[in-house]
Every structure is written in C-alpha cells, then in structure tokens.
Amino acid sequence: MIRLNNICKTYESKKVAKEVLKGVNCTIRRGELVAIMGKSGAGKSTLLNIIGGLLEATSGQYFLDDLDVTAMTRGTRDRFREQQIGLIVQDYALIGSLTAYDNIAMPLEFRNVPINLARKLIKEIALELEIAHLLSQKVHSLSGGECQRVAIARALIKQPTVLLADEPTGALDEQTEQKILELLQRLKQDNRIIVLATHSRDVANCCDRVLRISEGVLVSN
C-alpha cells in the first residue's frame, strides 16, 4: 500500500521558488488501478516521479508498505526504485536499434540474472503480453502499440510492486489504447499497484479511482 502524508515539492532557483505539490495526502492499495488527472503543470508528473523514487519530496512522508521512502538516502532510494518500481513513459524510452528481446532483457542484465533464467522470464512475459512473435524484431520496425507492450514487458520483467505510467496511451489510436487499458486491468490482479498520469477522461474512466490535482493540490480523491 502507498501512503502519502502531506507531500510537498518545491523547485528553487536563484530568483524564485515554485511550489509544485502542496500537502498531498492519499492512500493507494494493492490491486488498484488509479489515474492522476490535472492540467499541464498541475503536478501530475512530479507526484508520479516522487512515487517512483526519481524525485525527493521537499517535505512530508511517503510509505510503500512499511518502507519510509522519504527517509532513504539517494543510494537506498535508487535500489528501492530498481527493485520495487516499474516505469512506463510516453515515448517508450526503448532503444530502436536493438530487438524487443534485448530491450526487455536490460533490467535483468543490470541484476546479473543468468542467461537461461533471463530467457525463461522473457518468454513468459512475452507470452502474457502477446508479443512473443516480436522478440527478434528491431524496435524501430514496431508499431506504437507494439512498442508500448515491449515497454510494459521491460517494466514488468523485474516483477515490481508498483507500476507507474506517464500518459501511457497518449500516442496510440483508440483501438490500441483500449487494448493497453484492458492489459493494465489484468495486470493489477497480480496484487500490484498501478498508477497512471493522464489527460484523458476515457483512460480515467477505465480506472478504479481518480486523483485530481489542481495547482499542486489534491482536490478530489
């Protein structure tokens, strides 16, 4: 379970301090698919990045189960992110010159997972996401929906507790968007926490709950 207690985030420069998140409080349970909605600049991506351990809150507390993430050192937080968080970004962040297999394998290489075990895990996740026939193809030859599935496979291959997605269907057509949302609905059944940042009401309507942010304030939970 995620617990955010009075989370604030301020960006400071020499001339001005900009308060992006202002005392966010919420709880997200395992098995939930939750959307974060708000206008551009409202604080959606900042909140997502704090949950993912990419950003440190200026103040407040963030717990994942019994782990106090806000009390972690940078090194500990990096290890937490590598072990617990799966992140999917809008532009997929795949390496186009590599195959789908090699992109999915990257997190396992960082963990020094033996090759035979890595092959088994990649085959299993590829079958689950219906991309086994794409593994030998270079990513630059894949469609947007196929790239998104490869990105999801790469995020899931390390079996994260939390799956985060920033505008995961923003570049997809309506039919492919629906397939990705149905896939995320299935994935939450593995007792994961799935959180999406989105502008789309259609995407939000497919989620269990919507967190609405306006000017850094959580106005609806």
From the list 172, 195, 162, the residue with the least C-alpha distance to 81 is 162
Q: What is the pLDDT of residue 129?
A: 87
| Segment (H or E) for 198 | strand 193-198
Taking residue 122's Cβ as centre, other Cβ atoms within 10 Å add up to: 22
CB burial string 90-117: b at 16+ within 10 A, e below: bebebeeeebbbbbbbebbeeeebeeee
Q: What is the pLDDT of residue 38?
A: 92
Instruction: Tell me how far the alpha carbon of residue 151 is from its chain's centroid.
Output: 10
**Is residue 40 left, alpha or beta, with left meaning phi > 0 and alpha meaning psi from -120 to 50?**
beta
Domains recognised in the chain with CATH numbers? 2-220 (3.40.50.300)
The label of the residue with tokens 């994260």 reads 160
What residues pair up with 36 in beta bridges, in sequence order? 197, 211
Written as tens digits, the pLDDT of the chain (221 aa) is: 999 999 999 998 877 889 999 999 999 999 999 999 999 889 999 999 999 999 999 999 999 999 999 999 999 999 999 999 999 988 889 999 999 999 999 999 989 999 999 999 999 999 988 899 999 999 999 998 899 899 999 999 988 999 999 988 877 788 888 888 888 898 888 899 999 999 889 889 999 999 999 999 999 77
